[in-house]
Structure 1
Amino acid sequence: MSEPHDYDVLIVGAGFAGVHQLLNIRKLGLTVKVLEIGEDLAGTWLWNRYPGARVDSPSPFYQFSDPELWQDWTYTEKYPDWREIQAYFRYVNDKFDVKRDVVFHSRVASAHWNDLVDRWTVTTEDGRVFRAQFLSLCTGIGSKHHIPIFKGIDTFQGDVYHSARWPEKYDFKDKRAGIIGTGATAIQIIQEIAPHVAHLTVFQRTPNLALPIRQQSISAEAEEKLKKDLYPVFFRRRGQTFSGFDYDIDPKSIPDTTPEERLLAFEEKWEKGGFHFWVGSYADLFMNQEANDEAYAFWRKKVRERIPDPELQEKLAPMQAPHPWGVRRPSLEQRYFEVYSQPNVTLVDVNKAAIEEIVPNGLRTSDGTVHELDILVFATGFDMITGGITSIDIRGQDGLSIKEKWANGVKSYLGLASATYPNMFWIYGPQSPAGLSNGPSSIEMTSEWIINCIKYLKENNFSSIVPIEEAQLAYSEHVDQLGAAALWSKAKNSWYMGSNIEGKKVQMLQFPGGLPAYAKLCNDAATNSYDGFHLKCSI
């Protein structure tokens, strides 16, 4: 065990949230250190480097809003890939020397609060010890990857990859590959490797109701004009919309429109691509099953037009929706549905032929078929929203770990703090807008709130702040009520609800009311002397 290193603020994670926290804590003149498990900056984009990995937010909205940064940076694509995101973080580091305050290869094992001195003691797996007044968890929503238990998994003699732990060197050419899962990462991998493999077998549980990405290159000239005329507007506008983009949900109800009006609106949003058909469409898609069915029927027609085989049409875009449309964050695709028409691609519906066992030369399904494989890819997702936090032994005023506290369901105040854990905040985590929003939009809003809170405490001689149990209960019930009023719970095995992880409490894990409503709740509490929190004066 090493001698403790003391700081005002400790940050866990060096992605968008951690870097934003670090740069702004510095401006307060406080001492700060970031503990990062990886070998470099970029957060999730350090790990998500599988074939085809790219963001699902347009490039103006996938960067920091600081003019010192965006004025001199230009992405080459509307939806940048992981290489460009890593290059962006290198650029940010070159500008602000981020790495001087980051300790890499540092997996945080525990964080324990001492109520006598109002300090956190944080220990890494290799025995280093850090102390700080404030602890900021910037672990993101998808930092703990998940592989379900399969019989015989250790017997497989080929290569095994998880989308979140991709090797630096790999070769799919002329190999027989199998991929389990059809979520966002799976779609990107499938599109990328299908032209190169000898054969690709995709094991699908739930059809992916993906949207066209409408990818395009960006010219430096066009981007400079945007920067001059619209970038400041973009960054102001994002805080005014449901999901933090420059477009918003249409408040008009579908029954209040004519069929012709709806069709033209759907067509317009479909052609724009990205999330326009999701969080730029009618609000009652999330609330009303009949309205949702109409959106699904439009989606189904568009997708089936791209799939000539009737059997594949039913597997990929079934007549009966597998869940209400849009209650999972849609994946974005470029040629996903066309892939299945290739003669070297097989789609297996595991609801009809379940994965029974992984064998040395492949995978056996319940219909007796052995799918022979050289490479097995697990695109099986993450212990989303909570996993990055509960994987750390965090203990607060009562000595109980947050994993124990949340075993029967998450409770938070304002989706950024939890009762009995003073001076601990998280960004883009449980009961925040998280996956229902553009990451940097949501991250910067929450990060700035935390920065202002720390500044307030320091200037007014408070040593700690912690949510009051009653306020936490009221906020958590509010999140549950918002979720119950809509269609979210009708998606089985949804990471929004925590139901993709066996044994995890099923509940609405994200604030589904949109960024403006969320910001108002947070800002109202701060304006009213941090209503809902207990503040302790320094001795």
Structure 2
Amino acid sequence: MSDTQECDVLIVGSGFAGIHQLINLRKLGLTVKILESGGDLGGTWYHNTYPGCRVDSINPVYQFSDPELWRDWTWSERYPGWKELQEYFQYVDRKVGIKQDVLFNSRVVSAVWDDSVDRWMLTTDDGRVFRAQFLSLCTGIGSKHYVPDFKGLDTFKGQVHHTAKWSADCDLQGKKVGVIGTGATGVQLIQEIAPIVEHLTVFQRTPNYALPMRQQKINPEEDEKLKNDLYPVIFARRHQTFSGMYYDIDMKPTMSATPEERIIYYEDKWEKGGFHFWVGSYADLFFNQEANDEAYAFWRKKVRERIPDHPELQEKLAPMNPPHPFGVKRPCLEQRYFEVYTRPNVTLRWDPSTLRCLVLATGYDMVTGGITSIDIRGQDGVSIKEKWDEGVRTYLGLASATYPNMFWIYGPQSPCSFSNGPSTIELTSDWIIKCIRYMKDNRISSIVPTEEAQKAYSEQVDILGAAALWSKAQTSWYMASNVPGKKPQMLQFSGGVPAYAKLCNDSAENGYAGFDVKRFSA
């Protein structure tokens, strides 16, 4: 087709993953384009602009590790908000010229593999057609928002907003507002808007085991010293820890410590804040119920101390009997969340009939939704959504059988939300780049996982998931149970970043074992 735009690699999405792919694939001398549904760079940080929205990974690890990009940039806070993150992506663009290879407002609706020429054909929602040898899906884990089928929502007479589709002219000042959902988005929003609304009603399904953020302003002089002394060490450390942070889980069994030792240990993690109490603490909280009970009891005590003289609130927000084990749903980080409910203008569950504005903090079709929202058809002509309706199956959490030359980053059966985002993103992106370089050097036209390798890897993900306490949480997006119709299963590799990296590297070092390759004809 004469109007088909040709390139070597098509990337879908311009967040951290898409930008990392673009920068580094250019270095191979390849022609690369990003197709981005939004109007600017940033991925999730372009689309999520609700009040209070900010990252939950502490800097310096939540940024690109390339010294060219961190040397001249200083964050104002350890946990930056969406505005500063958007500014960061503009800074990256000024440094390396991202936008010249991005087509904004271009939503990919279909991707079809042509086995006769080893090329992907992509179509956007405005009818444009693109063709490339490689397809890199950088859609993230939270790009398709989800609205439950709430009875009466269609007849609600007030305003309705979803946090993923926040409008700049949405003004909640002085209004009676209801928020449905207390996941990470809900927690951030609730603590931010409580002081400005006339009345806030929060509809909670299960309490959020939120942890203290311990937000800090960054001193530029101290940060400059940190850059000189420790930034390279910190970035290298990310791929050595379970969660891709610069701190790691502790393999010492919880119950082998004395009660006094445990309390002191927990207090230290609690004061450090962030995810130290979750993925920087005793590792057996994930698979030993007694150990998990100890962690929950400490968390519960800390939360209840912040809302004294409110026994009903204490029971709703930090129940004596936990509705699920601690940490098997992703905790979020808070700054003043629990105290919000002691305000006279805040109610936890209430009659919605007097509300004037309803905010849906109901989350996303997590992990798989960004991929299955595209009609992707491989060698057998079957859509990936149809295949994954029967359960997600991948090889190495970055590719799928019958879909040649297609990779994704930070998606199904990768460590994704068990880790700091950029840590896993850069690890996987580097693997894909090296794979493409290997293919170019060895005249390989296509590479695709075998069914056998995919089955073995997916079974390993299932076994790891079953060995821990993840399944004891109802309606968990970790287990694909937050959206009706999805098959319940562990959607992520839960063995940690180092174990995941070893599996990926072992395949590469053995000539990309687990893949079938097709070479160019002589």
For the superposition of Structure 1 and Structure 2, which TM-score range results when normalised by the shorter chain? over 0.9
Paired position in structure 1 for 2:468: 486
Contact 2:178 2:352 in 1 (8 A): no
Cα-to-partner distance string for 1:271-314 (whole Å, 9 max, x where unaligned): 00000000000010001001000000000000000112000000
Q: What is the SS of the residue equivalent to 1:376? A: strand
Paired position in structure 2 for 1:379: 361
Structure 1 runs (4+) greater than 3 angstroms displaced: none
Q: 1:531 is matched with which residue: 504, 513, 517?
A: 513
Cα-to-partner distance string for 1:429-458 (whole Å, 9 max, x where unaligned): 000000100000000000000000000000
Q: CA–CA distance in 1 between the matches of 2:451 and 2:334?
A: 43
Contact 1:145 1:382 in 2 (8 A): yes
Cα-to-partner distance string for 1:27-64 (whole Å, 9 max, x where unaligned): 00001100000000000000111000000011201110
Q: What is the SS of the residue equivalent to 1:209? A: coil
AA aligned opposite 1:219:
N
What's the TM-score once normalised by structure 2's chain length? 0.99
Contact 2:138 2:408 in 1 (8 A): yes
Paired position in structure 2 for 1:515: 497
Which stretch of the first structure deviates more once superposed, 164-173 or 272-281?
164-173
Contact 1:2 1:128 in 2 (8 A): no
Q: 2:445 is matched with which residue: 459, 463, 481?
A: 463
Paired position in structure 2 for 1:256: 256
Q: What is the SS of the residue equivalent to 2:306? A: coil
Q: What is the SS of the residue equivalent to 1:87? A: helix
Q: CA–CA distance in 2 between the matches of 1:151 and 1:480?
A: 35
Paired position in structure 2 for 1:417: 399
Q: Does 1:235 align with 2:235?
A: yes
Q: 1:498 is matched with which residue: 475, 480, 503?
A: 480
1:174 Cα deviation after fit: 1.2
Paired position in structure 1 for 2:61: 61
Contact 1:269 1:280 in 2 (8 A): yes
Q: CA–CA distance in 1 between the matches of 2:352 and 2:427?
A: 50
What's the TM-score once normalised by structure 1's chain length? 0.96
Q: What is the SS of the residue equivalent to 2:9? A: strand
Q: CA–CA distance in 1 between the matches of 2:174 and 2:122?
A: 48
Paired position in structure 2 for 1:212: 212
Q: What is the SS of the residue equivalent to 1:122? A: strand
Q: CA–CA distance in 1 between the matches of 2:479 and 2:499?
A: 20
Q: CA–CA distance in 2 between the matches of 1:113 and 1:461?
A: 19
Paired position in structure 2 for 1:105: 105
Q: CA–CA distance in 1 between the matches of 2:421 and 2:191?
A: 24
Change (3 A) 1:398 1:306: same
Q: CA–CA distance in 1 between the matches of 2:255 and 2:275?
A: 22
Q: CA–CA distance in 1 between the matches of 2:125 and 2:84?
A: 31
Q: CA–CA distance in 2 between the matches of 1:182 and 1:235?
A: 32
Paired position in structure 1 for 2:421: 439
1:155 Cα deviation after fit: 2.0
Q: CA–CA distance in 1 between the matches of 2:481 and 2:116?
A: 39
Contact 1:143 1:388 in 2 (8 A): yes
Paired residues for 1:215-294 under 5 Å: 215-294=215-294
Q: 1:400 is matched with which residue: 358, 382, 400?
A: 382
Paired residues for 1:185-204 under 5 Å: 185-204=185-204
Paired residues for 1:354-393 under 5 Å: 369-393=351-375
Q: CA–CA distance in 1 between the matches of 2:453 and 2:156?
A: 51
Change (3 A) 1:405 1:102: same
Change (3 A) 1:183 1:370: closer
Q: CA–CA distance in 2 between the matches of 1:117 and 1:465?
A: 13
Q: CA–CA distance in 2 between the matches of 1:488 and 1:31?
A: 42
Q: Does 1:116 align with 2:122?
A: no
Q: What is the SS of the residue equivalent to 1:28? A: coil
Q: CA–CA distance in 1 between the matches of 2:40 and 2:68?
A: 22
Cα-to-partner distance string for 1:65-98 (whole Å, 9 max, x where unaligned): 0000100000000100000100000000000110
Paired position in structure 2 for 1:16: 16
Which stretch of the first structure deviates more once superposed, 149-158 or 183-192?
149-158
Paired residues for 1:21-32 under 5 Å: 21-32=21-32
Gaps of 5+ in 2: none
AA aligned opposite 2:105:
H
1:370 Cα deviation after fit: 4.5
| Aligned residue pairs, count | 520
Q: What is the SS of the residue equivalent to 2:455? A: helix
Q: CA–CA distance in 1 between the matches of 2:363 and 2:255?
A: 37
Q: What is the SS of the residue equivalent to 2:436? A: helix
Paired position in structure 2 for 1:131: 131
Paired position in structure 1 for 2:318: 317
AA aligned opposite 1:450:
I
Q: What is the SS of the residue equivalent to 2:267? A: helix
1:371 Cα deviation after fit: 3.6
AA aligned opposite 2:287:
M
1:2 Cα deviation after fit: 7.7
Paired position in structure 2 for 1:356: none
1:407 Cα deviation after fit: 0.6
- Percent of counterpart pairs with the same letter? 71
Q: CA–CA distance in 1 between the matches of 2:330 and 2:438?
A: 36
Q: What is the SS of the residue equivalent to 1:61? A: coil
Contact 1:2 1:127 in 2 (8 A): no
